[in-house]
């Protein structure tokens, strides 16, 4: 059984005064196996963000199911949803979303504290992770004192510390310079090698080229997908670029 299974997802937004319906997702189906590293690409307005919001249980679909380890996320009650999200999903955001009132360490601890974990356990968990992410020396600092790349690594650490089933990353390199981007993508690769499932939404070809599989969304449906197989990053980059060109020039799906 796949770790994440998305079936016939449909989302229609209704403008506030009724009337206009906007179809953000038409019919999206795909699945992610445990240990996979999947990128979802698409232009602005293709429904990427809507999809991610539904996967993150921040939004409900109009119809369709999202199953995480066989549990239907769309059916979870509102009061349990926060806890479910905290325990099963790790988030990495474009704008980091670190709280400026906490040090990096406390930011990372936040989900554990919310889950009522023991302080000793927190310390044990953070140690290897911080080392892997190269932020051991800056844990005591505050978000305003460190660079964007460091902030994002702290955010990754926060996502990983709960041992989530899946990491959802929303444009994680969007606010980073190219060097930090490289570092972060390298880290994602490493984390994935250690067995962590990652699902990343991006429109950066470079970011997507690090994934093992790339899904393309257009007009609310999964339009196409590419497997990396044994390609190098550069070959993958080229493949993605070609596909995007094809998509924008309106090429045939089966080309």
Residues that bind another protein (CB under 8 A): 58, 79, 81-83, 85-86, 91, 93, 97-103, 106, 109-114, 116, 119, 122, 142-144, 158
Instruction: List the one residue out of 166, 6, 4, 9 whose CA is nearest residue 69.
Output: 4
Question: Which CB sits closer to another protein, 73 or 208?
Answer: 73
**Least distance in Å: CB of 111 to another protein?**
6
17 versus 144: smaller Cβ distance to another protein: 144
| C-alpha span between 203 and 105 (Å, rounded) | 30
Q: Label residues 60-72 b or e (16+ Cβ within 10 Å = b).
A: ebeebebbbeeee
102/223 with CB nearer another protein: 102
Coil/strand/helix, residue 5: strand
- Nearest Cα neighbor of 176 from 203, 147, 155 is 147
C-beta closer to another protein: residue 85 or 212: 85
Residue 80 has a CB neighbour count (10 Å cut-off) of 9
Give every strand in the sheet of 71-72, ordered side by side. Answer: 71-72, 63-68, 4-14, 21-32, 221-227, 213-218, 37-41, 197-202, 166-170, 89-92
d(C-alpha 80, C-alpha 230), whole Å? 42
Please state the closest distance from residue 164 (CB atom) to another protein, in A. 10
Closest to another protein by CB, 79 vs 230, is: 79
Give 78 or 252: the residue with its C-beta nearer to another protein: 78
In whole angstroms, the minimum distance from the beta carbon of 147 to another protein comes to 15
Q: How far lies 4's CA from each of 39, 130, 162, 217, in Å?
A: 14, 27, 18, 17
């Amino acid at each position: 059984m796949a770790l994440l299974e998305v079936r016939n997802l449909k989302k229609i937004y209704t403008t506030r005064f009724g009337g206009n319906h906007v179809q953000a997702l038409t019919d999206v189906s795909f699945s992610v196996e445990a240990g996979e590293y999947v990128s979802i690409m698409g232009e602005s307005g293709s429904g990427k963000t809507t999809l991610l919001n539904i996967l993150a249980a921040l939004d409900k679909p109009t119809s369709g199911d999202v199953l995480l380890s066989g549990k239907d996320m769309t059916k979870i009650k509102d009061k349990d949803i926060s806890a479910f999200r905290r325990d099963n999903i790790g988030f990495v955001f474009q704008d980091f979303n670190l709280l400026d009132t906490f040090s990096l360490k406390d930011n990372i601890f936040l989900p554990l504290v919310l889950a009522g974990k023991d302080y000793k356990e927190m310390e044990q968990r953070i140690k290897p992770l911080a080392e892997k992410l190269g932020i051991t020396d800056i844990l005591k600092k505050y978000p305003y004192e460190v660079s964007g790349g460091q902030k994002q690594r702290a955010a990754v650490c926060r996502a990983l510390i709960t041992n989530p089933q899946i990491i959802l990353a929303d444009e994680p390199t969007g606010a980073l310079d190219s060097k930090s981007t490289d570092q972060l993508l390298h880290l994602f690769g490493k984390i994935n090698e250690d067995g962590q499932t990652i699902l990343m939404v991006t429109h950066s070809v470079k970011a997507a080229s690090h994934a093992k599989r790339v899904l393309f969304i257009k007009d609310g449906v999964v339009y196409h997908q590419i497997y990396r197989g044994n390609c190098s990053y550069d070959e993958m980059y080229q493949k993605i670029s070609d596909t995007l060109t094809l998509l924008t020039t309106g090429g045939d799906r089966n080309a």
